[in-house]
Chains A and B, each alone.
Chain A
Amino acid sequence: MRPGRPAKLPVFSKDALRFASFAAIMAYQLYRNTTLGNSLQESLDELIQSQQITPQLALQVLLQFDKAINTALANRVRNRVNFRGSLNTYRFCDNVWTFVLNDVEFREVTDLVKVDKVKIVACDGKNTGSNAAE
């Protein structure tokens, strides 16, 4: 580089930059089917219905939600649960495990929850960075 001459940087359009920043990391969309995720989707749907936002924007919000919930669960939750039950069905497809258990007890240090039927949906957790030592 010659002295006195600023380096020329490639110029990206604002949209391209935004796209890049959001596309950089995709987080599991797994958590959209939770109370929090569903209520967000419903709220976004209402806003779309009333045409206050575009569906595209709603999608962006959901992507942001995915990141936020994944990060929050990985970093802000630190508790451990044990459970025991009987396995009714198991399914492994596209690297997603789905189990249905019966008569399950979920035990935390403080308390115990019993349910007669529970469905567990689990995505592959390797390499998602929340393997802090307990």
Chain B
Amino acid sequence: MLSNSNTVSKLYMSVIDDVIESVRELFQDEGIEDRVLEDLRQLWESKVMQSKAVEGFMKGPINPNNFVLQLPANYAQTLHKPTASIVIPAGQTLQNFTTKANGSGALATFSLPPGVSYPVQIPAGVTLQTSSGHLYKVNVPVMVTQAPASNRILPQPIQHVMEPREQVAPQGAVASVAPTAVLQTIPPPAADTYTPAAPSTTLLHPSEPQPVPHQQHLFLGQGGALQPPGALQPQLTLPAVPQPPPLPTPAPVTPDSPGDDEFTLDGIEFSPQPLDMSQPSPFAAQLSSGQACGGQLGAGREEVGQDGGGSLPVNAGEAKAQLVEPAKLEMDLMRDFNYNDLEALQQLDGACDSTSEEEAEEEEVEGGAGADEDEFLGMINAEALKALQEAEGSSEDDGSSSDSDALDDAVEEVEEDPLNSGDDVSEQDVPDLFDTDNVVVCQYDKIHRSKNRWKFYLKDGVMCFGGKDYVFSKAVGEAEW
């Protein structure tokens, strides 16, 4: 397929060029800087490259482990926030962790002047750029604080984001973004390369306990981990949680309950793949492990992490994986799981109309409780489903009490989709049928049918089979219906 992929690469590049050039004037008319247009081009190209639909897009070595903080050209001290003890002005040079020459032209790197202390505020709009030119944008103002001898700097969602980033990089935690790198490298100005190897030293330098504000979180905005107005681009890598020790002192803002975590996780939107992280599965794996590591939030969190690990690889494999959603789904399932369990207990205790079917259902539900999340789901789907149906039927017949109704409703909501789909026998149906990865988008010249023999005369098409792209100017096909 070499010839074809080459053709497709060239075609796509030419389309990208055409589009960018033709909207350049539009952008200028709107008063938008060229930098934004370049951003668009970079984003677009990197996404196309990542989708693996095409090869040959490589514009230079991808070095995900080297991050340099690049401030926007117009970045001034506009982001002063009262809580930040330091505002990073443009023009300051940060520790440059790049081990390779920066190939992307002039980069405004900045470093923390020696002696500066946390917290450091990274305002929104700051672009983090790797040496290879990939951009990571901070959309939400973040404040990086240092926790002495502790590893948690970030609120959970960011942790999730960051950890995979970090570990994807070959050098491990280097991938941590410059700001955190900032945090970290205050001590040794001489160090050019950041060695993530030392696990505990990841970005918090225990040897240099700064006079930390007791916050040991990275805040999103001011209010602490609530849903930020804009999506936090996952590229904002923050020191991850590979650090083992939990916070020595509970930070005032620590979310105390798993519910908070879930809440914050819900609020964070992962954008589609970060620009140069091209390994979705390790990413997902890291994410899950990162989640597991960040065990400060307690058991519920860890479960979520585990679950996230289970389900995320599947989702992350998609080009458009929204990482939060699987995690959120998992949490929802967790909630439901807990809820079902609870209700089941209630039923056991005192349901006046509990029938044998309901009891059987409860037993099955509880039996599933001990299993893994996935297995539990399977059990719910397969076994409790049937029992549910019976329970529903019986409860309706009995004119059941509100308790059983509530239980049924709750479980029913969870089961509704699988319930309905389980009823279908001929399931090879419309909803699933039209959902496929292999798509051809084209125009038809002529469609012909004779009895049940169809002939297709198509043109100007783009095909995508298993992620790989092809194009044609004419296509002729036959099929029998």
Which A residues lie at the B interface, using CB under 8 A?
14, 18, 28, 30-31, 33-36, 38-40, 42-44, 46-47, 49-54, 57, 60-61, 64-65, 67-74, 76-90, 92, 97-101, 104, 106, 108, 110-111, 113, 115, 117-126, 128, 130-131, 134
A53 to B32, CA, bound (A): 7
Complex: A39 Cα to B271 Cα, angstroms: 12
Determine the chain A residues whose CB is within 8 A of the CB of B125 once the complex forms: 50
Contact between B462 and A73, CB atoms less than 8 A apart = yes
Bound CA–CA A40/B20 (angstroms):
11
* B36 lies within 8 A of chain A by Cβ: yes
CB-defined contacts of A122 to chain B, threshold 8 Å: 440-444, 447, 456, 458, 461
- Given A76-B11, A110-B4, A119-B439, A86 contacting B480 (CB threshold 8 A): yes
Q: Which of B99-107, B207-215, B297-305, B470-478 contacts A (4 or more CB under 8 A)?
A: B470-478
- B371 proximal to A (CB < 8 A): no
Question: Looking across the interface, which residue of chain A has its beta carbon closest to that of B476?
Answer: A82
Which residues from A are CB-within-8-Å of B26?
A: 18, 57, 60-61, 64
> Is B139's CB within 8 Å of the partner chain A?
yes
Are the C-beta atoms of A36 and B477 separated by less than 8 Å? no
Closest residue of chain B to A128 (Cβ to Cβ) is B443
The yes or no answer to B333 lying at the interface (CB within 8 A) is no
Q: B22 near A64 (CB under 8 angstroms)?
A: yes
**A119 contact set on B, CB distance < 8 A:** 434, 436, 438-440
The answer to whether B440 and A118 have CB atoms under 8 Å apart is yes
Q: Contacts of A64 on B, CB cut-off 8 Å?
A: 19, 22-23, 26
Chain A residues in 8 Å Cβ range of B476 = 80-83
B11 near A77: Cβ-Cβ < 8 Å? yes
Report the minimal beta-carbon distance from B142 to chain A, rounded to whole angstroms: 14
Which residues on the A side are within 8 Å of B474 (C-beta)? 79-81, 134
| Chain B min CB distance to A114 (Å) | 9
* Chain A residues within 8 Å of B80, by CB: none
Contact B454 A46 (CB under 8 A): no
* Interchain CA distance A122-B481 in the complex, whole Å: 18
- CB-defined contacts of A115 to chain B, threshold 8 Å: 438, 465-466
Task: Name, among A30, A74, A78, A125, the residue most crowded by chain B CB atoms within 10 Å (CB to CB).
Answer: A125
The reply to whether the CB of B15 lies closer than 8 angstroms to some CB of chain A is: yes
Among B45-53, B348-356, B359-367, the one that faces the other chain is B45-53
Given the known interface contacts A117-B436, A122-B442, the answer about A35 and B19 at a Cβ–Cβ threshold of 8 Å is no
Q: How far is the CA of A18 from the CA of B250 in the complex (A)?
A: 59
Asked if B479 contacts A47 (CB within 8 A), the reply is no
> Nearest Cβ in chain A — how far from B220, in angstroms?
15
Q: B residues within 8 A CB of A87?
A: 454, 479-481
Inter-chain contact B442/A83, CB cutoff 8 Å: no
Q: Are the CB atoms of B32 and A57 closer together than 8 Å?
A: yes
- Selected A-B contacts with CB under 8 Å, 16 pairs: A18-B29, A33-B441, A35-B469, A38-B319, A43-B40, A46-B43, A57-B30, A61-B40, A69-B15, A77-B11, A77-B460, A87-B454, A97-B447, A106-B470, A110-B4, A130-B460
B30 & A54 in contact (Cβ 8 Å cutoff): yes
- By the criterion CB–CB under 8 Å, are B139 and A49 in contact? yes
Known: A36-B48, A72-B18. A86 touches B443 (CB 8 A): no
In the complex, A126→B44 CA distance in Å?
Answer: 31
From B480, which residue of chain A is reached at the shortest CB distance? A86
Q: 0/1 per residue, B1-27, Cβ < 8 Å to A?
A: 101100100011011101100110011
CB neighbours of A14 from chain B (8 A)? 29
Report whether A89 and B433 are in contact in the complex, using a CB–CB cutoff of 8 Å: yes
Closest to A39 in B: B47
Question: B460 to A74, Cβ gap below 8 A?
Answer: yes
- A54 neighbours in B (Cβ, 8 Å): 30
Q: Is B445 an interface residue (CB 8 A)?
A: yes
B233 at the interface (CB under 8 A from A): yes
Q: How far is the CA of A52 from the CA of B443 in the complex (A)?
A: 35
State the CA gap A38–B462 with chains docked (Å).
13
Chain B residues with CB below 8 A from A74, complex form: 460, 473
Q: Which residue of B lies closest to A73 (CB)?
A: B460
Is B442 in contact with A121, judged by CB distance below 8 angstroms? yes
Residue of B nearest to A132 (CB): B473
Residues of B within 8 A of A70 (CB): 460
Q: Contacts A53-B32, A72-B14, A130-B473 given: A118-B438 contact, CB under 8 Å?
A: yes
A33 to chain B, nearest CB (A): 6
Given contacts A18-B29, A39-B44, contact A85 B7 (CB under 8 A): no
Query: Which single member of A80, A85, A121 contacts B439 (CB below 8 Å)?
Result: A121
CA distance A87 to B271 in the complex (A): 37
Given contacts A50-B137, A113-B465, are A121 and B459 in contact (CB under 8 A)?
no
List residues of chain A with CB within 8 A of the CB of B54: 35
Bound complex: CA of A110 vs CA of B470, how far in Å? 13
B residues less than 8 Å from A39 (CB atoms) = 43-44, 47-48, 51
